[in-house]
Structure 1
């Protein structure tokens, strides 16, 4: 039975554990709830879903994980070599979530650096 978070990542974590434990050929039931209220949890256990219905959710997460790894490892190497060739030192990491998040932080820091105080009246 799978009872991890009801999302792609929860499904991926559970399936990875199932696969690594050698139980991938067994029938899987899925607890799919969106609330931690006692009544909802009981209802969820009374209505377990067929695990096969969530296989595509697992494959989505697995595919994203592989793509993140391939893109991250290759672009990190490429970007690092490019930056080092242009005189910079260190490793320059690239990632699907990390890179745009760091850019948002950079943009905010630039806004703060160029902030001009103005009187404000209500």
Structure 2
């Protein structure tokens, strides 16, 4: 990783950790509210055996899986560093709750399409 890319990553990590530490957001949504909403909304309106596609940046699936897996802050930051935008995360919603089946699958962005892969 270049020095410039590392500097951007460090700033991004610091900002994300700051958002997670703040109990009250000064403008916008708290991390807690965002991650709880991220974990609840994708499956809230689906019936049993139904599928849904959600197209988003890498932040939402990171928040979603982090909440479902009860990851500590450091785990959220680690996942967020490698999450590819427009990747596929699959969930199973059942009687015992929602569980990630896959996280950050981006096989559709390899080979001739690898130039389309973005992060953050």
> What is the TM-score when the length of structure 1 is the normalising length?
0.26
Which protein is richer in strand relative to its size?
2
Which protein is richer in helix relative to its size?
1
> What is the TM-score when the length of structure 2 is the normalising length?
0.27
